[in-house]
Amino acid sequence: MPPTAEQGEVRPQLDEAEQHKAEDRTFVGAKVVHEAVRLSGLEELARPPNALAWSGLAAGLSAGFSLVAEGLLRSHLPDQPWRPLICKLGYPLGFLIVILGKQQLFTENTLTPIIPLMTRRDMETFVKVLRLWAVVLMSNLIGALAFAWVLGNTPVFSPEVQKTFSEISQEAISVGFEAALLRGIFAGWLIALVVWILSAVESGHATIIIILTYIIGLGGFTHIVAGSVEAFFLVMTGAASWTECLGNYMLPTLIGNILGGVSLVSALNHAQVVAGRHKITPPKSRAQKPRREKQ
Residue 218 or residue 270, greater confidence: 218
Residue 295: per-residue pLDDT: 37
DSSP string, 59-76: HHHHHHHHHHHHHHHHHT
Residue 243, pLDDT above cutoff 90: yes
Q: Residue 263: pLDDT band by 50, 70, 90 thresholds?
A: confident
Structure confidence by residue, pLDDT tens digits, 15-45: 777 666 666 666 678 888 999 999 999 999 9
Q: Measured between alpha carbons, how far is 24 from 36 in angstroms, rounded to an integer?
A: 17
Q: Which range, of 13-22, 113-122, 276-285, averages the lowest pLDDT?
A: 276-285
Q: What is the mean pLDDT of the chain?
A: 89
pLDDT-above-90 percentage for the chain: 75
CATH fold label, 29-276: Glycerol uptake facilitator protein (1.20.1080)
Residue 267: per-residue pLDDT: 86
DSSP string, the chain: -PPPTTT--------HHHHHHHHHTSPPPHHHHHHHHHHHHHHHHTS-HHHHHHHHHHHHHHHHHHHHHHHHHHHTS-S-TTHHHHHGGGTHHHHHHHHHTT---GGGGGTTTHHHHHHH--HHHHHHHHHHHHHHHHHHHHHHHHHHHHHHHSTTS-HHHHHHHHHHHHHHHTT-HHHHHHHHHHHHHHHHHHHHHHTT-SS-HHHHHHHHHHHHHHHT---TTHHHHHHHHHHHTTSS-HHHHIIIIIHHHHHHHHHHHIIIIIIHHHHHHHHTTTT----HHHHHHHHHHH-
